[in-house]
Amino acid sequence: MGSTSDKIKGTSNEIAGKARQAAGKAIDNHEEQVKGAVQEAKGNAQVAKGNAKEAVKKIVDKA
């Protein structure tokens, strides 16, 4: 998977996770809030992975 795909999937998970947390908070469902936080964290990791791949590619391209 390329860096752009990782970033897109990561951003999608971040947004979905935040929405899930908000929904959980609105209905006072702590389990849903935790699941949303986990999903958001997964998204953050995916975006970071995409950024790392992009940085490595730039270094390789310069070499």
- State the 10-residue block means of pLDDT for the chain, 63 residues long: 92 98 98 98 97 94 87
- Residue tagged 């940085």 (tokens): 55
pLDDT at 36: 98
Q: d(Cα 33, Cα 20) in Å, to the nearest integer? A: 6
pTM for the structure as a whole: 0.87
Q: How high is the pLDDT of residue 54?
A: 95
What is the number of domains present in the chain? Answer: 1
What pLDDT score was predicted for residue 32? 98
Report pLDDT for 31.
98
Q: Alpha-carbon distance 46 to 63, whole Å?
A: 26
CB 13, CB 41: distance < 8 Å: no
List the domain range (segments joined by +) for residue 54. 3-62
